[in-house]
Amino acid sequence: MAMPSGYLPIFIFLAIAITFPVVAILAAKLIRPSAPFAAKLEAYECGIKAASDSRGRYTVRFYIIAILFVIFDVETIFLFPWAVRYRQMQWFGVAEVAVFLVILAVGYIWAYKKGALEWV
- Dihedral of CA 91/95/96/97: which sign? positive
The tens digit of pLDDT for each residue in 88-99 reads 888 888 898 899
Q: Is the model's pTM score more than 0.75?
A: no
- What is the tens place of the pLDDT at every residue in 21-39? 999 999 999 998 887 777 6
Q: What single letter denotes the amino acid at residue 16?
A: I
Taking the C-alpha atoms of residue 110 and residue 103, their distance in angstroms, rounded to an integer, is 11
Integer Cα distance of 6 and 69 in angstroms: 39
Alpha carbons 106 and 96: distance in angstroms, whole number: 16
DSSP state of 74: H
CB 50 within 8 A of CB 43: yes
With cut-offs at 50, 70 and 90, classify the pLDDT of residue 19.
Answer: very high
Q: What is the DSSP letter of 116?
A: T
pLDDT score recorded for residue 53:
66
